[in-house]
Amino acid sequence: MLPDLLAILNAKRDSIRSFRCKYKSSNQPDEVSVFAFDGNKILLHAGGPVRQSAFDGELVRMIRSNGDAVIERLQSLDMFYRADMPLAKAMLLDPRLVGVEDFGVDLSLYLKKNGFSVFEETVNFDDSRCLLVATYPYKVYLDLDRNFALKRLESIRHESVADDKGFPVIVGHSVKAHSAHSDFVDYGNGIWLPSKIVTEHANDTSTVVEVVEMEVNPEIADAYFVDIFPDEATVLDSVRGLVYVWGERNSIDKALMTAAPSKPRRNILIWANVTIFLLAIGIYGWRRYQTRRRGDSKA
C-alpha cells in the first residue's frame, strides 16, 4: 500500500505544471489574494508588509505596502508561502522544505519525510470513504472516491501523566486543531481540489478559505511574473544599484529606465556645500579680527 499510495500522490504532483488561484480568507474578508506559479516562476498578491511579489526565475520584484517598488535577488521562497493558500492546505505544502528547483512539497514528500502508517479499515467522514494515514503529529484523511484527495487534517497532541518517578507516560491523545475540505472540483488527471477549507484552531477560533477562481495547468505568459509595477513607479533596484522610474511595462527587455535623482544624496551634497561656504566665511572673518586686534595693540 505504501509504494502505491506514494506513486499516486507523486503522479498528482508531477501533473501540476502551472497553477493560478484567486481566493478569500475570513482573516481578510475584503481582500482577494492571488497565488500562481509556472515551473519555478511564482507570483503572490496578498496583504501584509509586501502587497505583491513575483519571481521570474531570476529576480524578485516586490510592491511593499508603503508603495515602494523593489527589485532584488531571491533569498528564500518562504516569502511566497501563505498558510491560508488553498493549494498549500490541499496538498500540505511545507515551507520549510521548499526549494528553488521544485516549488512546493506535496503530501507524498511530506509523508515520506516523516514516515507514516496506514489504517486497514476505512473511515467515513462527511459522507466520504476515507483512508486514514497517521504521521505524528497529524492524522490525514484521504478521500478514496476522489483519488486520495485530502479531505481532513487533524493536528493531535499526546495526553500524558507522570509516573511514580515523575516521568511522563502517554495515556491518550486529543485533537489540537483540524481542517475540513469540501466543495471539491475535478481538474482532470486525478486532481481533485477543494473550493472551501474550514480550519478550527486550538484557541477556539476558526479560519474559512474560499476559492474565487482556480486554474490548474493554465497557459501563463512570462510577463505575468515580471510586469507588476505601475507606470512611473520609482524602483529601488538593489541588483543594479540604481534608482529609476519604471516606464515600459510590456517587457523587461524594453523597460524604460530613466535615472531618477536620489533626493537623500542630493540633499547631503547641498548641505555639505553650504557648510564649506559658511566655514570659509568664518575663517576669513576670524583672520580679519585677529589682524585688526594686533594693529590696535601696536597702537
DSSP3 helix / strand / coil % (the chain, rounded to 5): 25, 40, 30
Q: Which residues contact 89 (CB under 8 A, 6 or more apart)?
A: 83, 150, 153, 179, 181, 194, 197, 199, 209
Neighbours of 282 (CB within 10 A): 10
Predicted structure pTM score = 0.70
3-state secondary structure (DSSP) of residue 49 = coil
Say if residues 192 and 208 touch (Cβ distance below 8 Å).
Answer: no
Q: Which residues contact 37 (CB under 8 A, 6 or more apart)?
A: 18, 19, 43, 103, 104
- Segment 59-91, tens digit of pLDDT: 999 998 888 899 999 887 777 777 667 777 776
- Segment 156-184, tens digit of pLDDT: 766 666 667 776 666 556 667 788 899 99
Burial class for 236, CB neighbours closer than 10 Å (0-12, 13-18, 19+): middle
Q: 85 or 17, which is more confident?
A: 17
The strand pairing partners of 69, in sequence order, are 63, 235
Closest CA relative to residue 177, chosen from 162, 155, 194: 155
3-state secondary structure (DSSP) of residue 5 = helix
How many alpha carbons fall within 13 Å on the CB side of residue 83? 9
Query: All 3 cell numbers of residue 145?
Result: 472516491
Query: All 3 cell numbers of residue 259?
Result: 535615472
- Segment 253-277, tens digit of pLDDT: 444 444 454 445 445 545 555 565 5
Query: All 3 cell numbers of residue 147?
Result: 483519488
Query: All 3 cell numbers of residue 244?
Result: 529609476
Q: How far apart are CA 218 and CA 34, in angstroms?
A: 14
Say if residues 52 and 63 touch (Cβ distance below 8 Å).
Answer: yes
Q: Residue 197 above 80 pLDDT?
A: yes
Measured in degrees and rounded to the nearest 5, phi and psi for residue 119 equal: -80, 140
Instruction: Return the percentage of the chain with pLDDT > 90, whole number.
Output: 24
Say if residues 228 and 241 touch (Cβ distance below 8 Å).
Answer: no
